[in-house]
Structure formats: C-alpha cells, structure tokens
Amino acid sequence: MSNVIPLLSGEKLKWLGSFDFRNLYFQLHKGMERDGWDIKEKRYVEKSKPGAENKNVEIIWEATLDIDNYTRAKIDIFFDLTDVTEPMTEWEPGITRPIFKGAIDIVFSYSLITDYNDEWSKHPVLRSFQKFYENKIYRKTLDGLKGEHWGYGWGYVNWLKELMQMVAIA
C-alpha cells in the first residue's frame, strides 16, 4: 500500500484587493511544468447568483513528479476566489483587459508517496519485505528526499508569495 509522507500541509496565502489571476495561474503552471511536474486540474467550479456581478471560483490542482521507481512527490494547490468581479482595466493606452477584484486564498500542500503504483503491496513477497526495505535499505535515501523536498516545497510557497506580490494591483 502507498505510504503518504506529508512535508507541508495546508500552507495558506491570502490576498484581498485587485490582482491579475490569469497571470498568476499562467506563471505558476508554466513554471511547474518547466520543473517537470505533471499538473492536472482536478476541479474548476464557478458559482454566482443570477444577476450578480460577483462570483466565487474554486480550482484544485494536483501535480506529481516521479523521483524514482518507488517514490513520487505530490503537490496539491487549492485556489479559492471569493466574491470576485472582473472589471475591464486599462493596462496601457488603448489596451484593456479584465482583472480580478475580491479575495483569493491559496492552500498549498506537498508530500512524498512511496510505492505510488502499489506494486509492492500487490505482490505477496514484496509486501512482507516492504517495511524492512523502507526502514533499513531505503531509509537514508528517503530521509534525504524528505529534507530535499521539504526545501523544494518551501521554495514553491515562497515563489507563490512572490507571484502574488507581482500580480497584485494597488
């Protein structure tokens, strides 16, 4: 059976005001793809009341990166845009585009998953050997990966903070 090792759990970023969500979404997606992550948008829900200008948007990403044949890194990102409007704004003379006004909360989690394909748990001999493998043989490697990927996780959180500052509109 897969073993999930949380490294960062529910790190929250918040912004209230005007922001360029399309740019944030694009920059984060392209940057993670460039780093080798496989990103899937698991959920996109847009809700608004009839006749209302404002809306709520929920987006959930799941990104995975295979480290080796036994271990995978996983990032979960939840974007929660609340009470947002998209007024047209002039960026340059003669060029207008919509920006978001409202609140955005981003929740970020990072974990490692061992035996991510459940190959060991499906095989009777390997299943009985799995605990020994993880505790004795693979332990130093896994400890190193935990430290390394904990740093990567915080790197993404800090980069996300920078992106949020970059797309914030005063």
pLDDT tens figures, 104-143: 999 999 999 998 887 777 877 777 777 778 878 888 999 9
* Residue 9 to residue 98: CA distance in whole angstroms: 33
CA distance 163 to 157: 10
**Which token pair is 115?**
């035996």
Total domains in the chain come to 1
**Domain containing residue 99:** 3-169
Q: In the block, which residue shows the tokens 């990403």?
A: 61
d(CA 6, CA 1): 16
- pLDDT given for residue 127 in this prediction: 74
pLDDT bin (cut points 50, 70, 90) of residue 170 is low
72-82 b/e (C-beta count within 10 Å ≥ 16 → b): bbbbbbbbbbe
State the pLDDT at residue 118: 78
The predicted pLDDT at position 46 comes to 94
pLDDT, tens digit (0-9, with 9 covering 90-100), for 6-57: 999 999 999 999 898 989 999 999 999 999 999 999 999 999 888 888 999 9
Query: Under a CB-based contact definition with an 8 Å cutoff, are residues 109 and 9 in contact?
Result: yes
